[in-house]
Amino acid sequence: MQITLKVWRQSDANSPGDFVSYPVDNVTEDMSFFEVIDMLNDELVLRGEEPIAFDHDCREGICGTCGIFIDGRAHGPLQGVTSCQVHMRSFTDGQEIVVEPWRARAFPVIKDLAVDRTAFDRIMASGGYISVNTGSSVDANATPISKHDADEAFDAAACIGCGACVASCKNASAMLFVGAKVSQYALLPQGQPESKERVLNMVATMDDEGFGSCTNTGACESECPKEISLEHIARMNREFIKASLG
Amino acid sequence: MSFQSNIPDGPLKEKWTKHKFDLKLVNPANKRKYNIIVVGTGLAGASAAASFAELGYNVQAFSYHESPRRAHSIAAQGGINAAKNYPNDGDSIYRLFYDTIKGGDYRAREANVYRLAEISNNIIDQCVAQGVPFAREYGGLLDNRSFGGAQVSRTFYARGQTGQQLLLGAYSALIRQMGKGTVQFHPRHEMLDLVLVNGEAKGIITRNLVTGEINRHSANAVVLATGGYGNVFFLSTNAMASNVTAAWRAHRKGAYFANPCFTQIHPTCIPVSSEHQSKLTLMSESLRNDGRVWVPKKKGDNRNPSDIPEEDRDYYLERLYPSFGNLVPRDVASRRAKDMCDKGHGVGNTGLAVYLDFSDAIQRLGRDAVSAKYGNLFDMYQQITGENPYETPMRIYPAVHYTMGGLWVDYNLMSNVPGLFVLGEANFSDHGANRLGASALMQGLADGYFIIPQTIGNYLSEKLNETVSIEDSAFSSAENDVRERAEKLLSVNGSRTVDDIHKELGKILWDNVGMSRESSGLNEAIQKIPALREEFWNNVRVPGNNESFNPELEKAGRVADFLELGETMARDALNREESCGGHFREEHQTEENEARRNDEGYTYVAAWEYQDGAPPNLHKESLNFENVSLTTRSYK
């Protein structure tokens, strides 16, 4: 296959960026999308040009490090996968593929396709935990939890913190990310003692970090590589109202 | 320097309890006067950093990732072992200890492994309290499954994402302390040197990966939790950035590197498909609970797997090892897969794969039940290969996955350099020559939550007010070395990319220091690697500069260290004239092609001391077995 990558290049957060087109030959359909960028980068290095900077690490869809827009969609054309798991069999010979970083005020560009998502950590630091010190816990089977609740908590906990929800939301809202964590703990008995402070603090930090409001368009859910459900946003809203009134 | 294992006296079962009492303590009011550096914030590092902060210490934590949640611990799939005996199937702390010692082919310390088994139960309690959503039964209690090398069900799991859930648990504990300001986290900072003052670890030099700034950090102790070195092979299941640099920089400063040739090749990975392959993907060992491994009986039989009738299939693990069957330990399963492919029974385009077949399980349990257990793994397989494992057997082949070797540590997890502690995969301590499945998560969290918080006080108690200023000459000279090295890498301006040279190193190691080794191949590696190192320093091309975000420069520094480590691995493998665990020497095998240990000659830990411009020096720590008798491992 031969394809053209039309890539956003930006040298740092304070410089303007632009698209640059790179034709790439000898692409095979078994290659991952990132392996194509690797191959192009090797060529760029040997030509004396700057390679394309992009975040990636595990390349098996679990670490949440990668995240780019591929042809206008967060993590590319497939449902339920991360950018690193997109393979070239999803594209056709001769295709031009547009590649962009996440775009959200709370995620400033570091370079090219790499962005700064530390705002997520600051939200988590304001309440995304259960306050239990090492060594002070009871036997793991002391508190039975219904399988249904445990499974639902797991569904929420599957969030990889990649930021696709924010990037694909027209308001750059982080409600799905925050909702998933609030919902996980709301479903578990261990999460109850701090439930009020948690939801109030996390929502306040989310607002302070410059994420937008939720208008229930559902773009986050449809682009989430882990298919986290909007129900978790609904549960967070209930938690928030409960906490605000009580 | 101290090369004493410091294993406490007394009966095995009482060693840790007694030792905890004997350790010197730091009083609560004094803890805030100490600074501890933690490098790496995966399972071991995050759990240690959080636990230190809970105790009252000041913690500086460093990661080359943007967030602790990105660490490669997150990719562990199958589960975590603990001796809870919830299923009532005869498990006990002693059995977990015994299975782990035996699984490691008797090349680990009894005392360390027993302590690990003892602590395993606390880990599960801790994680549940943190809200880790482990799999549960309908009655609301925790579920268990089986893993390789054990005949009991002791593995706790969270679908196929156990590592993710445990890491997010440790991350939540850490981020709580970050919110309180008791841990200062430095994202996208890579440790590039260890600073020693009077022979003791007193700080590190880091590079800010975004700005290129080089910084000095001083502390009363340095804790490395920087993971394993599997990426020395280029292709492995490790994440792209996983590297040996922090450990290797410490090694160059005097820390011994133990058993570097003990690398684990995992039997169930997705086979290589193209020359541009950048990494390999693991399919969890838990799949071997329900999947059956087979190859066609006839060589070169390239019929569609569904067209090959039962009588033409060889379920070779079930045939060779009737009592453990598909659940033999990883080293055995890997070597047998290679054997079958070498003999011409391999499948797929390359002939370097065997089948892992779920059709029996789907028939027995139904597609939904199989999907509930392994759904995400099946999806991942389909995503990568384009084939549907519900309909056609998976093709799998062994790949580098984990490294049992690492920096040498004593019972307190302190290296031979006082003040330098090493946790998790980065140390060598608990898995001997082969790690059993679901034991890596257990060890990382045991080290971080329960061992180091106790043992570090013993060292610190005598170091009150011994903080070294970052203006000290030891810091400035280490900083200079770091700057010079970066400049040297940037100035070569040759004609080969970093990855190109890394791939060549990987091939040398895979061919000669991989699943099976023999002396001529090892000698060849010892010749070729220094030559490749020369080539690297004379002909690599690293673009850009040191003062900006420059991923190629990061990679170059890591590959330079891999080029030194690779040679030491080959030397260690050549020295060890026996087969044990993941280290299989062609010269040392039984008539049935099983590993033949040499207990008289090699019941020791090989700890290598770095020598500038000369081969490393070997130091031996002999392993004494007082409780288990060394037998030939049999899984038949």
Q: Give B131 to chain A, closest Cα distance, Å.
A: 6
Instruction: Say which of A51, A57, A78 has its CB closest to residue B70.
Output: A57
Q: Which residues 392-431 of B have a C-beta within 8 angstroms of A?
A: none
**B263-269 and B292-296 strand pairing:** unpaired
CATH code assigned at B26:
3.50.50.60
Q: Give B286 to chain A, closest Cα distance, Å.
A: 17
Shared domain for B84 and B227, answered yes or no, is: yes
* C-alpha of B210 from chain center: 27
SS3 A155: helix
- Taking a C-beta distance cutoff of 8 angstroms, is the pair B105, B117 a contact? no
pLDDT beyond 90 at B608: yes
pLDDT beyond 70 at B456: yes
Residues 6+ apart with CB under 8 A from B220: B34, B35, B36, B202, B419, B460, B463, B466, B467
Strand order in the sheet with A73-74: A18-24, A3-9, A96-101, A68-70, A73-74
Contact A42 B499 (CB under 8 A): yes
> In chain B, what residues touch A42 (CB-CB under 8 Å)?
497, 499-500
Read out DSSP for B494-550?
-SB-HHHHHHHHHHHHHHHSSSSB-HHHHHHHHHHHHHHHHHHHHHB---S-TTS--
CATH code assigned at B271:
3.90.700.10
pLDDT value at position B460? 98
| Number of other CB atoms surrounding residue B261 within 10 Å | 24
pLDDT value at position A144? 97
Shared domain for B242 and B111, answered yes or no, is: yes
- Taking a C-beta distance cutoff of 8 angstroms, is the pair B255, B420 a contact? yes
How many C-alpha atoms does B447 have within 13 Å on its Cβ side? Answer: 36
Shared domain for B284 and B185, answered yes or no, is: no
pLDDT beyond 70 at B244: yes
Residue B485 is classified by DSSP as H
- CA B360 to CA B299: how far, in whole Å? 24
- Taking a C-beta distance cutoff of 8 angstroms, is the pair B417, B200 a contact? yes
pLDDT value at position A96? 98
Residues 6+ apart with CB under 8 A from A2: A23, A24, A25, A26, A27, A93, A94
Contact A160 B239 (CB under 8 A): no
pLDDT beyond 90 at B83: yes
Tokens read off for B603 = 């019941």
Shared domain for B163 and B48, answered yes or no, is: yes
Q: Which residues 120-159 of A have a C-beta within 8 angstroms of B?
A: 120-121, 124-126, 128-141, 143-147, 150-151, 153-154, 157-158
φ, ψ (nearest 5 deg) of residue B210: -85, -45
| Annotated catalytic residue, options B95, B330, B435, B517 | B330
- Taking a C-beta distance cutoff of 8 angstroms, is the pair B246, B253 a contact? no
Q: Is B547 on the interface with A (CB under 8 A)?
A: no
Interval B320-348: pLDDT, tens: 999 999 999 888 999 999 999 999 999 99
Max Cα distance, chain B (Å):
74
- CA B555 to CA B230: how far, in whole Å? 15
- CA B507 to CA B523: how far, in whole Å? 15
- Domains in chain B, number: 3
Contact A190 B50 (CB under 8 A): no
CATH code assigned at B502:
1.20.58.100
Tokens read off for B368 = 């939904």
Contact A57 B450 (CB under 8 A): no
> In chain B, what residues touch A119 (CB-CB under 8 Å)?
none
Tokens read off for B473 = 């000459």
Q: How many residues does chain B have?
A: 636
Q: Is B395 a catalytic residue?
A: no
Shared domain for B254 and B275, answered yes or no, is: no
- CA B569 to CA B529: how far, in whole Å? 11
In a domain, B165, yes or no: yes
Percent of chain B past pLDDT 70, that is, above it, reads: 100
Q: Is B131 on the interface with A (CB under 8 A)?
A: yes
Q: Give B66 to chain A, closest Cα distance, Å.
A: 7
Instruction: Say which of B128, B171, B239 has its CB closest to residue A140.
Output: B128
Q: Average pLDDT of chain B?
A: 96
- CA B77 to CA B40: how far, in whole Å? 20
Cα four-point dihedral sign B543, B545, B548, B552 = positive
Contact B282 A60 (CB under 8 A): yes
Q: Is A53 on the interface with B (CB under 8 A)?
A: yes
Strand order in the sheet with B263-269: B263-269, B394-403, B354-357, B292-296, B313-314
Average pLDDT over residues B560-589: 97
Interval B107-147: pLDDT, tens: 999 999 999 999 999 999 999 999 999 999 999 999 999 88
In a domain, B408, yes or no: yes
In a domain, B125, yes or no: yes
- CA B510 to CA B233: how far, in whole Å? 6
ipTM, two decimals, is: 0.98
pLDDT value at position A244? 96
| Number of other CB atoms surrounding residue B147 within 10 Å | 28
Q: Is B74 on the interface with A (CB under 8 A)?
A: yes
What are the residue ranges of helices labelled H in B343-449?
A: 359-365, 367-385, 440-445
What are the residue ranges of helices labelled H in chain A?
A: 33-46, 118-125, 147-157, 164-168, 175-186, 195-208, 219-223, 231-245
> Cα separations (Å) of B634 from A212, B265, B276, B287, B343?
61, 19, 39, 22, 23
Shared domain for B436 and B333, answered yes or no, is: no
Cα four-point dihedral sign B167, B173, B179, B185 = negative
Strands (E), B369-435: 394-403, 406-407, 420-422
What domains can be seen in chain A, in order of their start residue?
3-111 (3.10.20.30), 118-131+145-245 (1.10.1060.10)
In a domain, B609, yes or no: no
Q: Which residues 196-235 of A have a C-beta within 8 angstroms of B?
A: none
- CA B342 to CA B338: how far, in whole Å? 6
Query: What domain range is B526 assigned to?
Result: 474-603
pLDDT beyond 90 at B159: no
Interval B364-383: pLDDT, tens: 999 999 998 888 889 889 98
In a domain, B2, yes or no: no
pLDDT value at position B1? 65
Shared domain for B47 and B170, answered yes or no, is: yes
- CA B53 to CA B60: how far, in whole Å? 10
Q: Give A100 to chain B, closest Cα distance, Å.
A: 18
Shared domain for B308 and B221, answered yes or no, is: no
Shared domain for B58 and B204, answered yes or no, is: yes
Instruction: Say which of B172, B278, B543 has its CB closest to residue A35.
Output: B278
> In chain B, what residues touch A116 (CB-CB under 8 Å)?
66
Contact A64 B69 (CB under 8 A): yes
The single residue listed with the structure tokens 């990132």 is: A34
Shared domain for B281 and B217, answered yes or no, is: no
- CA B119 to CA B225: how far, in whole Å? 19
- CA A167 to CA A177: how far, in whole Å? 12
Instruction: Say which of B75, B449, B549 has its CB closest to residue A134.
Output: B449
In a domain, B467, yes or no: no
> In chain A, what residues touch B139 (CB-CB under 8 Å)?
144
Residue A32 is classified by DSSP as B
Q: Is B175 on the interface with A (CB under 8 A)?
A: yes
Cα four-point dihedral sign B454, B458, B463, B468 = negative
- Taking a C-beta distance cutoff of 8 angstroms, is the pair B605, B427 a contact? no
Contact A134 B210 (CB under 8 A): no
Residues B517-544: b if buried by 16+ CB within 10 A, e if exposed: beeebbeebbebbeebbeebeeebbbbb
Residues 6+ apart with CB under 8 A from B368: none
Question: Between the CA atoms of B55, B56, B60 and B64, what dihedral angle is there, to the nearest 10 degrees?
Answer: 30
In a domain, B632, yes or no: no
Shared domain for B181 and B270, answered yes or no, is: no
Q: Give A171 to chain B, closest Cα distance, Å.
A: 24
Q: How many residues does chain A have?
A: 246
The single residue listed with the structure tokens 């930090």 is: A205
Query: What angle (nearest 5°) sits at the alpha carbon of residue B331, between those of residues B330 and B333?
Result: 65
In a domain, B624, yes or no: no
Residue A211 is classified by DSSP as -
- CA B74 to CA B76: how far, in whole Å? 6
pLDDT value at position B284? 84
Which of B354, B370, B401 marks a domain boundary? B401
Q: Is A184 on the interface with B (CB under 8 A)?
A: yes
pLDDT value at position B148? 79
- Taking a C-beta distance cutoff of 8 angstroms, is the pair B402, B414 a contact? no
Q: Terminus-to-terminus CA distance in chain B, angstroms?
A: 45
Search chain B and give the residue with CA nearest A26. Answer: B276
Contact B142 A45 (CB under 8 A): no
Interval B413-434: pLDDT, tens: 999 999 999 999 999 999 999 9
Shared domain for B242 and B186, answered yes or no, is: yes
Contact A51 B543 (CB under 8 A): yes
pLDDT tens digits, chain A, 246 residues: what are they? 999 999 999 999 999 999 999 999 999 999 999 999 999 999 999 999 999 999 999 999 999 999 999 999 999 999 999 999 999 999 999 999 999 999 999 999 999 999 999 999 999 999 999 999 999 899 999 999 999 999 999 999 999 999 999 999 999 999 999 999 999 999 999 999 999 999 999 999 999 999 999 999 999 999 999 999 999 999 999 999 999 997
Interval B623-632: pLDDT, tens: 999 999 998 8
**B200-208 and B189-197 strand pairing:** antiparallel
Closest CA to B318 of B354, B347, B369, B271: B354
